[in-house]
């Protein structure tokens, strides 16, 4: 009877059990990134399979040319955006709100530049996804990455909007940190894609 | 091994390591050849694995050791009773349980 009264007196749900030392939001992002790594892994498997089957001596296949230099400049743009997002987070940790806002806006613009350059590259590349297995895997890998850049831009847009509205403080900046981790992951994946697809 | 994406700072460090690693592979491929690039890749993976192992070992060395003492640990001999079986009327050696097991 007394236990029934005790249960009735509880006006809020019990505190969720936290079995991990990692914050649940960061843990969610980490699990998401782990699943993304597996997704990219399957696409890379298809790419390397096509490459091995075609014969490794001539790559890309004859008649196809990849815009290595444009993609190289795009790589520099994306790597720069990781530095700016890192700067943004370090700024808010030190209480520099203007630095955080500038860093986030710069990151967003650099990401947008990368995405538009990739769209232009698709328009002028001279082959289509349905041409052969090489072109299919090329568009799948770069397109998958482009989709992730788009998602990252959405996250960055939310963080930037909140930053411009005066959110975040040196103690509370999870809303910047989690998109930053994702953005670094997107950058890492592009380094792997650029090195394996365009250069090697 | 510690998760390299645990925080933004560690994710950023991971990105820098990735850039250095793939930069070395690409440089080896363009300047020397494919085989050397492959060796650089294998060597890089081994070096990173070794570094991560070393870090995790040094981290575990810094932690205070947790001592688990079971009932079967040999006890320190007491004064006046350090002969085997002196404490235990059954004569069982130290560290062994003197309890008799019942049948199956």
Q: What is the ipTM of this complex?
A: 0.79
Q: Which pLDDT value is given to residue A200?
A: 80
What number is the average pLDDT over the span B4-29?
A: 87
Distance (Å, whole) CA A105 – CA A3: 55
Distance (Å, whole) CA A123 – CA A107: 25
Give the chain A residue nearest B22 (alpha carbons): A195
Residue B74 pLDDT > 60, yes or no?
Answer: no
* Residue whose token pair is 């005066």: A166
**Of the listed ranges A23-32, A98-107, A154-163, B89-98, the one predicted with least confidence:** B89-98
Q: Which pLDDT value is given to residue A105?
A: 96
What number is the average pLDDT over the span A144-170?
A: 93
**b/e burial code for range A88-126 (CB count within 10 A of at least 16 → b):** bbbbbbeebbebbbbbbbbbbebbbbbbebbeebeeebe
Under a CB-based contact definition with an 8 Å cutoff, are residues A195 and B26 in contact?
A: yes
Residue A174 pLDDT > 70, yes or no?
Answer: yes
Residue B97 pLDDT > 50, yes or no?
Answer: no
Distance (Å, whole) CA A82 – CA A96: 18
Maximal C-alpha separation, chain A: 82
Residue A150 pLDDT > 80, yes or no?
Answer: yes
Give the gap in angstroms from C-alpha A35 to the nearest C-alpha of chain B. 14
Asked whether the beta carbons of residue B5 and residue A30 sit closer than 8 angstroms, the reply is yes
Residue A148 pLDDT > 90, yes or no?
Answer: yes
Under a CB-based contact definition with an 8 Å cutoff, are residues A173 and A89 in contact?
A: yes
State the angle between helix axes of B34-62 and B8-31 in degrees (0 to 180), rounded to the nearest 10.
150
* Residue whose token pair is 């890998």: A141
CA B88: distance to chain centroid? Answer: 39
- Whether the CB of B29 is below 8 Å from some CB of chain A: the reply is yes
Q: Which of A22, A89, A187 sits opposite B6 (nearest CB)?
A: A22
Distance (Å, whole) CA A129 – CA A141: 11
Q: Which pLDDT value is given to residue B95?
A: 44
Neighbouring residues of A144: CB distance < 8 A, sequence distance ≥ 6:
A39, A40, A43
Residue B68 pLDDT > 80, yes or no?
Answer: no
Six token digits for residue A137 = 């895997």
Residue B83 pLDDT > 90, yes or no?
Answer: no
List CB contacts (< 8 A) between A191 and chain B: 15, 18-19, 22
Greater confidence, A60 or B55? A60
Asked whether the beta carbons of residue A181 and residue B18 sit closer than 8 angstroms, the reply is no
- Whether the CB of B7 is below 8 Å from some CB of chain A: the reply is yes
Kindly report, residue by residue over A122-147, the tens digit of the pLDDT.
999 888 888 888 899 999 999 999 99
Q: Which of B5, B25, B37 sits opposite A33 (nearest CB)?
A: B5
* Residue whose token pair is 């299919």: A136
Residue B90 pLDDT > 50, yes or no?
Answer: no
pLDDT grade for B78, boundaries at 50, 70 and 90? low
Reference A86, options B24, B18, B19, B14; nearest CA is: B14
Residue percentage of chain B with pLDDT more than 70: 47
Residue A101 pLDDT > 80, yes or no?
Answer: yes
What number is the average pLDDT over the span A105-112?
A: 96
């Amino acid at each position: 009877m007394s236990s029934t009264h005790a249960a009735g007196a509880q006006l809020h749900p019990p505190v969720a059990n936290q079995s991990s030392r990692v914050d649940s939001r960061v843990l969610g992002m980490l699990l998401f990134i782990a699943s993304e790594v597996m997704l990219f892994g399957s696409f890379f498997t298809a790419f390397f399979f096509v490459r091995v089957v075609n014969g490794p001596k001539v790559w890309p296949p004859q008649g196809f040319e990849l815009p290595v230099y444009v993609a190289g400049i795009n790589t520099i743009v994306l790597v720069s955006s990781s530095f700016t997002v890192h700067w943004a987070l370090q700024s808010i940790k030190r209480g520099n709100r203007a630095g955080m806002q500038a860093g986030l806006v710069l990151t967003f613009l650099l990401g947008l530049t990368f995405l538009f350059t990739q769209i232009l590259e698709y328009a002028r590349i001279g082959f289509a996804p349905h041409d052969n297995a090489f072109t299919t895997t090329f568009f799948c890998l770069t397109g998958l990455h482009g989709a992730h850049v788009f998602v990252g831009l959405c996250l960055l847009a939310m963080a930037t909007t909140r930053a411009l509205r005066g959110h975040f403080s040196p103690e509370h900046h999870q809303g910047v940190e989690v998109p930053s981790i994702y953005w670094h992951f997107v950058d890492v994946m592009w380094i792997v894609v650029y090195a394996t697809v365009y250069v090697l | 091994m510690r998760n390299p994406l645990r925080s933004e700072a560690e994710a950023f460090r991971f990105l820098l390591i990735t850039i250095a690693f793939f930069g070395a592979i690409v440089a080896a491929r363009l300047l020397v050849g494919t085989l050397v690039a492959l060796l650089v890749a294998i060597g890089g993976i081994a070096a990173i694995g070794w570094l991560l192992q070393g870090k995790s070992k040094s981290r575990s060395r810094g932690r205070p050791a947790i001592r688990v003492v079971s009932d079967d640990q040999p006890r320190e001999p007491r004064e006046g009773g350090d002969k085997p079986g002196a404490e235990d009327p059954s004569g069982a050696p130290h560290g062994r349980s003197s309890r008799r097991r019942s049948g199956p």
